[in-house]
């Protein structure tokens, strides 16, 4: 990750986590977080709960997909319940999602950051700064 940028900093909103290889049926289970695993919700779009508990209306999901540059990114979406229907919000940068979670759930955000940094240490992904 960029030097001196840390969770909670406004500039961290502009950080995106990029995987070195796309997610497929063959490797999706390699990216399990806790008891959750990635599920393909549309062609080449994968989702997995990152933070979801029964006693909190707020939920956060990993969204993994290719973007226009051809890179495979791990972004975040919030889960929204409206009229009994569940939907995911528009994806946001990885850092923005972590910053959002850290506002009320610092420990969980730190756990997600550690998970992503472990993927980076395994040379399977890395952090990049993106422009607004």
Per-residue model confidence (pLDDT) at position 54 = 87
How far is residue 84 CA from its own chain's centroid? Answer: 25
Token pair listed for 101: 């979670």
Indicate the pTM of the whole model: 0.91
Angstrom distances, CA of residue 64 to CA of 15, 24, 70, 103, 107: 15, 11, 12, 23, 23
Query: Residue 103 phi/psi, 5° resolution?
Result: -60, -40
Per-residue model confidence (pLDDT) at position 3 = 63
79: left (phi over 0), alpha (psi -120 to 50) or beta: beta
Per-residue model confidence (pLDDT) at position 46 = 97
Per-residue model confidence (pLDDT) at position 77 = 97
Per-residue model confidence (pLDDT) at position 71 = 95
Given a cut of 50, the residues of the chain with pLDDT beneath it are 1-2
């Amino acid at each position: 990750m960029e030097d001196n940028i840390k969770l909670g900093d406004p500039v961290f909103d502009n950080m995106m986590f990029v995987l070195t290889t796309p997610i497929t049926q063959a490797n999706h289970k390699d990216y399990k977080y806790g008891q959750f695993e990635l599920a393909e919700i549309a062609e080449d779009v994968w989702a997995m709960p990152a933070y979801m508990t029964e006693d909190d209306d707020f939920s956060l999901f990993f969204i993994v997909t290719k973007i226009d540059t051809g890179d495979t990114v791990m972004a975040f979406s919030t889960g929204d319940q409206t009229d009994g229907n569940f939907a995911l919000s528009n994806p946001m940068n990885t850092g923005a999602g972590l910053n959002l979670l850290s506002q009320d759930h610092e420990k969980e955000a730190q756990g997600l950051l550690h998970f992503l940094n472990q993927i980076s240490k395994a040379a399977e992904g890395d952090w990049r700064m993106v422009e607004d």
